[in-house]
Structure 1
Amino acid sequence: MAKLQAKTKENPKLMQKTLADGRQSLYLEYYMGYNKVIDEVTGKEHIKHIRSKEYLGLYLLPNPRTPEERQKNKETLALAAEIRIDKEKVLVARRYDKAAPVKQKINFLEFFDAYVKNYKKKDIRMMEGCLRRFRGFLAESYPSMQTNIKPDQMTKEMMIKFVDYLQQHSFGEGARGFFQRFKKVIKYAIDQDILLKNPCTGVPCVVDDTALRKDVLSLEEIAQLANTPYQNMDVRRAFLFCLYAGLRYCDVVDLKYSNVDYANKTIRFDQNKTTGHSTHSIVTIPLSNTLLKLIGERPEKDGPIFTLPSHTGCLKALRIWVARAGIEKHITWHCARHSFAVNLLGECHTDIKTVASLLGHSGLKHTEKYTRAVDSLKEKAVNALPELVI
């Protein structure tokens, strides 16, 4: 049998099929192409046409007797005919590499907003931030489109400018994170036939040595912070725990006493960011005496180790606490993870494989950026020495 002579679905026909109960089921039939088939007995070649069916879930009543039944069948047929016409328009538009007429009128911003509102994954804050970034970009670079942008206006040139905007307005890996979320929305728009081509294809978002740009706390500054009182003890305990264990906010907030093996002095948990996507998602960390003190004794009933406010509330508390400690750095919750890695590699001279294992990295690629951060800190320390007049 030869390879299928493929065609796109075109010219759908409205067809009917009689069901066991007498109703007529309405469906669309598409011509898909043909196969050249060789008869095994005669050796002759003949053509086998390939068709596809799409059932509409619409039915005609058998032998309509009343005016109401005849009117209902008439309306059902009209609806099916309208669907057939719309399908044909979509297929014709796709044949000529254009969005369907009805979808050409869609406001992509409204589509994006609806996508975010229905988004249920844990990176919802990043997705919301991505939408804000895109609105800000349009307001700055395409003011005529800041409230209404059509799918056919989403070009590769625009995406290149959007990446430039993200890199100028984001810290650390933020630009890449936002662009990754944006591409998820674009992919969904393609799945919904709102976009026929991906305007992000071939548009890179390169982030320079992000760890070098993010502030970290030295061991002396961590001690300085630990000696500074703060009224919310859970925020204080949780952030110090992250500084000594390298956890993200999304992981520390979910920790429970059942994660702790008191006998073997370890804590085991599944990383929210990589769960279901990596074999290194589950991490086991040995607990030092400092970490055990921060956890405290096991209560009678299992529950969260740290009862924390929202991420925004934690950031606000952290800013106040850091300022009160006299530390003049821009410290976010994620800085604890960076500080943990940099201090292990630099001050404690820990090998990179061990650090990668403690951070739950699947390889050394993500951990290597911290070695560059250590080199940068060394260079900064040497350059801070007063210059000699020779």
Structure 2
Amino acid sequence: MKRCLTALAALAMTTFGSAGAHAQQVEGIAALVNDYPITTVDVRDRMRLIIVSSGIQPTQETLVRIQQEALRSLIDETLQIQEAATFEVAVDPAEIDGAIANIASQNNVNPEQIVQDLATNGVDIMTLRRQLEAEIAWQIIVGGRYNSLIRISNQQIESTLERVAASASQPQYRLAEIFIEIPVTADESEAEQRALAVMTQLTQGAPFQAVAQQFSDAPSAANGGEIGWLLEGQMRPEVVQVARLLEPGQLSRPVRVPGGLMIIALIDQREGTTTVQYDLTQISLPTSRVNEESVAAMERALGRMRSCGDIDAQIDDIEGAFSSRLGQISLDALLPQIAEPISGLNAGQHTPLLETAAGRQAYFVCDRSIGGPGVPSRDQIESQLRNQQLSMLSRRWLRDLRRDSTIEIR
């Protein structure tokens, strides 16, 4: 959720005038969403909120963009609240109070200071409360509709772990993002203009975190766009290419990714310190027992093995053959002639029968894990994959609501 307020900009008062002057103006309807009116007062109040919470400098050019963003957000939020009402979901005011308390905590102030700062800049607290109400309601109904339907398979998790393992020794990136959605039925140029307008504000000094909270369409907007430390195996290929070219503190140009455009900020970078750990069992046939028949028997036995529990039973009738549990060993601690055939193996797989000074040996992988800073657990990977699917389904649902609703912009 786009909740965190930055240091408030005093420009809102001079740009839009005081609340008293505003009340004397003649206002009208800016848009109708399924016959529900969004007034010009609503739009102006949201513009103030965007300015004071993002630090954007209000010029004639940026005000046009801010107005478009304010109206777009209000339309989406109206659709979200209307859809929540059809499911009889009402947000408890205490939940909104909790969200405001969270904003205050993130900014090291108390909730009363948030209310006072907004009022000082001509923003009614109800403007913020409405935004939070829509976000909370939407989270509730999206979770209720899709959480039980999303299935993350072991294959998906293993595939992600494979990519993580492949990039284990490569640099790690601490990233933040601003995602601008390109609706399927919309003109891509509109999203491109939004992205360029956001880039302009960032290059002029607007805080990335605050801009992300107000303009990003990704769930990471709740954290100011930050998505934390990532291995290259967890990132989209197009994002990896961009991240490799950035220095800490730098921004990318808008990058085309599935579903939209992404602006990437590299917060920090560190060398890969992860290691691939193998839980190994060594299967040996001593030199004194090596002959054509015993080697063939060993190879047949290896072909029948499915787990570490199978090993002794499969080699029991091979004279002189024995197994030794080596336990957890990092790949870089193994001799090159052993590490090379082991590299890339998964649990339940084994090397070929290798010729060594001790005779013939094979190595069976009982388990494999990746350790080190920033390495996600299986649960974390599953959560990441689930959130990606939930985000995609959420955007698709909102897109369908826009398409099927009657929206009249005046």
Instruction: Choose between structure 1 and 2: higher helix proportion.
Output: 2
TM-score (norm 2): 0.21
Q: Which has the larger radius of gyration?
A: 1
With CA pairs under 8 Å and 6+ residues apart, which has the higher RCO, 1 or 2? 2
TM-score (norm 1): 0.22
